[in-house]
Amino acid sequence: MPEIILEINGKEEKLDVDPKTPLLYALRGNLSLNAPKFGCGLGQCGTCMVLVNGSPQPSCLLTCESMSGKSIRTLEDLGNEEKMDPVQEAFFEKQAAQCGFCTNGMIICAKALLEQHSEPTTADITNALNRVLCRCGSHSRILDAVKYAVNLKRNQG
Amino acid sequence: MVENTNNEKLINKGRRDFIKSSGYLMVGFNLFPIVSCVQGNQAETKNLNEEFPRPLDANQINAWLKIDEKGLVTVMTGKMELGQGIKTALQQIAAEELDVSMDNMRILIADTGITQDERYTAGSGSIEGSGGSIRNAAATARQLLLEMAAKKLEVNENQLSIKDGIVSDMNSTKTISYGALVQNQQIDGKTNEAVKKKDPAAYKIVGRPILREDIRNLVLGNEHFIHDLRLPEMVHARVLRPPVYKAKIKSIPETEVKSIPGVLSLIRDGNYIAVIADEEYAAVKALKVLKEKSVWEKHPLSLDDPNLKEAIFKSDEKEQVVDGEKQFAWASDAQFKTLEASYFRPYHMHGSIGPSCAIAMWKEDFLTIWSPSQGVYPLRRTVSDLLKIPEEKIRAIGVPGSGCYGHNGADDVSADAALLAIKFPGRPVRVQWMREDEHSWEPYGSAMGFTLKAQIDREKKVSFWQTKLWSDTHSTRPNGKAGHFIGARHLDQPFNFDAGGFSGGSYRNATPLYNFGGKQIISIPFVGPLRTSALRSLGAYANIFALESFMDELAYLAERDVVQFRLDQLEDPRARAVIEEVVEKSDFKSKSSNVGKGLAFSRYKKTAAYLAVVAEVKIDPVGKTFRCSKLTAVIDAGQVINSDGLKNQTEGGMIQSASWTLKEYVRFNAQGIKSTSWETYPIFRFEDVPKIEVLVLDRPQEKALGAGEAAQGPVAAAIANAIFDATKSRVRDLPITPDKIQWSR
Q: What are phi and psi of A140, to 5 degrees?
A: -65, -35
Asked if the Cβ–Cβ distance from A141 to B19 is below 8 Å, we say no
B194-221 average pLDDT score: 95
Does the ipTM exceed 0.90?
yes
In this structure, which topology does domain A3-75 adopt according to CATH?
Ubiquitin-like (UB roll) (3.10.20)
Alpha-carbon distance B625 to B68, whole Å?
62
Identify the domain boundary among B218, B243, B271.
B218
Spans of all domains in chain A: 3-75, 86-156
Identify the pLDDT of residue B6. Answer: 37
Q: Which chain B residue is nearest to residue A140, measuring alpha carbons?
A: B692
Q: Which chain B residue is nearest to residue A98, measuring alpha carbons?
A: B83
B493-500 average pLDDT score: 88
Angle at B411 between CA B406 and CA B417, to 5 degrees: 150
In which element (H, E) is residue B622 found?
none
User: Among positive and negative, which fits the CA dihedral B198, B200, B201, B205?
Assistant: positive
Q: Which chain B residue is nearest to residue A91, measuring alpha carbons?
A: B219
For B108-133, write each residue's pLDDT tens digit: 999 999 999 999 998 888 988 999 99
Residue segments in chain A with a per-residue pLDDT below the cut of 70: 1-2, 157
Identify the pLDDT of residue B124. Answer: 80
B611-634 average pLDDT score: 98
In this structure, which topology does domain A86-156 adopt according to CATH?
DNA polymerase; domain 1 (1.10.150)
Asked if the Cβ–Cβ distance from B683 to A39 is below 8 Å, we say no
Per-window interface: A 14-33 vs B, CB < 8 A: 17-18, 21-22, 25, 28-29, 32-33
Residues B211 and B242 in one domain: no
Residues B595 and B715 in one domain: yes
Residues 6+ positions from B481 with CB-CB distance below 8 Å: B382, B385, B495, B498, B500
The number of C-alpha atoms within 13 Å of B207 and in the hemisphere containing its C-beta is 16
Long-range pairs for B586-594 at CB < 8 Å and ≥24 separation?
B586/B614, B586/B616, B586/B630, B586/B632, B586/B693, B588/B563, B588/B614, B594/B618, B594/B619, B594/B620, B594/B621, B594/B726
Residues B294 and B208 in one domain: no
Rg of chain B, C-alpha, whole Å: 28
Distance between the two ends of chain B, CA-based, in angstroms? 58
Which chain A residues have a beta carbon less than 8 Å from that of B683?
133, 135
Judge residue B593's burial from the number of C-beta atoms within 10 Å of its C-beta, 0-12 exposed, 13-18 middle, 19 or more buried.
exposed
What value does the mean pLDDT of chain B take? 92
Residues B171 and B195 in one domain: yes
Whether residue B270 lies inside any domain: the answer is yes
For residue B672, list its beta bridge partners.
B669
Which chain B residues have a beta carbon less than 8 Å from that of A22?
281
Identify the pLDDT of residue B37. Answer: 30
Distances in Å between the Cα of B225 and the Cα atoms of B87, B409, B512, B660 are 15, 15, 40, 26
Q: What is the CATH number of the domain that holds B270?
A: 3.30.365.10
Q: Is A113 left (phi over 0), alpha (psi -120 to 50) or beta?
A: alpha
Residues B254 and B178 in one domain: no
Identify the pLDDT of residue B142. Answer: 96
Which chain B residues have a beta carbon less than 8 Å from that of A18?
261, 281
Residues B242 and B198 in one domain: no
Residues B170 and B236 in one domain: no
Q: Can you state the angle between helices A103-116 and A139-156, rounded to 10 degrees?
A: 40
Alpha-carbon distance B92 to B455, whole Å?
49
Identify the pLDDT of residue B4. Answer: 42
- At B53, the pLDDT band (50, 70, 90 cuts) reads low
Give B590-616 as a DSSP string. Answer: ---TTEEEEEEEEEGGGTS-EEEEEEE
For B225-277, write each residue's pLDDT tens digit: 999 999 999 999 999 999 999 999 999 999 999 999 999 999 999 999 999 99
Q: Best mutation site among B353, B431, B435, B631 for testing chain A: the one with the most A CBs within 10 Å? A: B353
Whether residue B324 lies inside any domain: the answer is no
Distances in Å between the Cα of B126 and the Cα atoms of B93, B516, B580, B657 are 12, 33, 29, 21
Identify the pLDDT of residue B500. Answer: 72
Alpha-carbon distance B161 to B158, whole Å?
8
Rg of chain A, C-alpha, whole Å: 15
- At B627, the pLDDT band (50, 70, 90 cuts) reads very high
B537 touches A: beta carbon within 8 Å: no
Whether residue B454 lies inside any domain: the answer is no
| DSSP 8-state code for residue B497 | P
Tally of structural domains, chain B:
3
Alpha-carbon distance B105 to B71, whole Å?
9
Identify the pLDDT of residue B487. Answer: 97
For B503-552, write each residue's pLDDT tens digit: 789 999 999 999 999 999 999 999 999 999 999 999 999 999 999 999 99
Residues B211 and B234 in one domain: no
B48: pLDDT strictly greater than 70:
no
- How far is A69 from chain B, CA to nearest CA, in Å? 23
Alpha-carbon distance B465 to B453, whole Å?
6
Residues B243 and B202 in one domain: no
Residues B720 and B576 in one domain: yes
Q: Which chain B residue is nearest to residue A43, measuring alpha carbons?
A: B678
B76: pLDDT strictly greater than 80:
yes
B32: pLDDT strictly greater than 90:
no
Asked if the Cβ–Cβ distance from A32 to B351 is below 8 Å, we say no
Whether residue B59 lies inside any domain: the answer is yes
In which element (H, E) is residue B662 found?
helix B643-663
B1: pLDDT strictly greater than 90:
no
A147 touches B: beta carbon within 8 Å: no
- At B47, the pLDDT band (50, 70, 90 cuts) reads very low
Least confident range of B154-163, B185-194, B718-727 = B185-194
Q: Edge-to-edge strands of the sheet including B337-345? A: B320-324, B519-525, B462-471, B448-456, B337-345
Query: Within 10 Å of residue B701's Cβ, how many Cβ atoms?
Result: 10
Residues B166 and B241 in one domain: no
Alpha-carbon distance B451 to B449, whole Å?
7
Give B293-325 as a DSSP string. Answer: H-EEE----S--GGGHHHHHHH--SPPEEEEE-
| CA trace torsion B138, B142, B143, B144 (10° rounding) | 100
Residues B201 and B77 in one domain: yes
Facing residue for B692 by CB, picked from A28, A91, A140: A140
For residue A73, list its beta bridge partners.
A51
| DSSP 8-state code for residue B686 | G
Identify the domain boundary among B398, B416, B441.
B441
Output the furthest CA–CA distance in chain B (Å, rounded). 85
Q: Which chain A residue is nearest to residue B283, measuring alpha carbons?
A: A25
Strands (E), B28-148: 65-67, 73-76, 105-108
Please state the pTM of the whole predicted model: 0.94
Note whether B729 and B743 are within 8 A (CB): yes
Identify the pLDDT of residue B415. Answer: 98
Identify the pLDDT of residue B39. Answer: 30
Domain limits for position B374? 227-298+350-441
Alpha-carbon distance B82 to A131, whole Å?
24
A140 touches B: beta carbon within 8 Å: yes
Note whether B1 and B103 are within 8 A (CB): yes
- At B3, the pLDDT band (50, 70, 90 cuts) reads very low
B337-360 average pLDDT score: 98
Percent of chain B with pLDDT over 70: 92
Whether residue B316 lies inside any domain: the answer is no
Nearest CA among B626, B578, B565, B567 for reference residue B604: B578
For B423-452, write each residue's pLDDT tens digit: 999 999 999 999 999 999 999 999 999 999
Alpha-carbon distance B635 to B710, whole Å?
8
Alpha-carbon distance A15 to B95, whole Å?
47
- At B587, the pLDDT band (50, 70, 90 cuts) reads very high
**B504 or B42: whose pLDDT is higher?**
B504
A129 touches B: beta carbon within 8 Å: yes
Alpha-carbon distance B292 to A101, whole Å?
30
B141-162 average pLDDT score: 96
Facing residue for B652 by CB, picked from A17, A131, A136: A136
Q: How far out from the chain centre does Cα B551 lie? A: 29
